[in-house]
Structure 1
Amino acid sequence: LTELLEPGDIVIDGGNSNFNDTNRRFKKLEEKGIHFIGMGVSGGEEGALNGPALMPGGDKEAYDKVSPILESIAAKTEEGVPCVAYIGPEASGHYVKMVHNGMEYGIMQIIC
């Protein structure tokens, strides 16, 4: 993919990626002047139908450019506030998603 990208391009990884892989990708693309956002996505089937909660981390400049798009696809509160916020640098978004999953799965185990 990097061979097809140019400096200034933005890559968004919205998969359940390991935050260590996200850090590696961020650094490799940063060397080439390519912006990288590692973004946790939460919501399951409901999120697919009505908009997910988004946890983007990585290049802040890139986030500022794509935030209107992310806000338009994100779930909204009853007041219409999008469920998306810049988390922090590098792999912050994927790290937060990992913590979120750990808490969710722990709660499901307690309930069962």
Structure 2
Amino acid sequence: MSEPQQPTVEDLVAAGKAFEQQMRTAQAQLGNALVTGRSADGTVVVLASGLGQVKAVQVNPVVFDNRDAAALQDAIMQSIRAAGANAAALAREKMGPIEINLH
């Protein structure tokens, strides 16, 4: 039996370039993708890119009737966390394990 051939430097460079292109393509797709995060009570929805950049916050006007700032703040945080989790899941699907920070 012959031993498996070791990859050449050229093989490694080509594989590295192919991997880099796959990551660039996935990053571009994530930048164009939209994910949502919703508060538990459904009053706040956050739209973010697949890279975790917050694009919009939608607030149901009913929250203003309650005049409960603490509840609104909690709903906003729940929505941001959910959008971040959804962005991270999409990134894992496209690129493998990755950490997403909303900014």
Greater C-alpha radius of gyration: 2
TM bin, normalised by shorter chain, reads 0.3 to 0.5
TM-score, length basis structure 1: 0.31
TM-score, length basis structure 2: 0.33
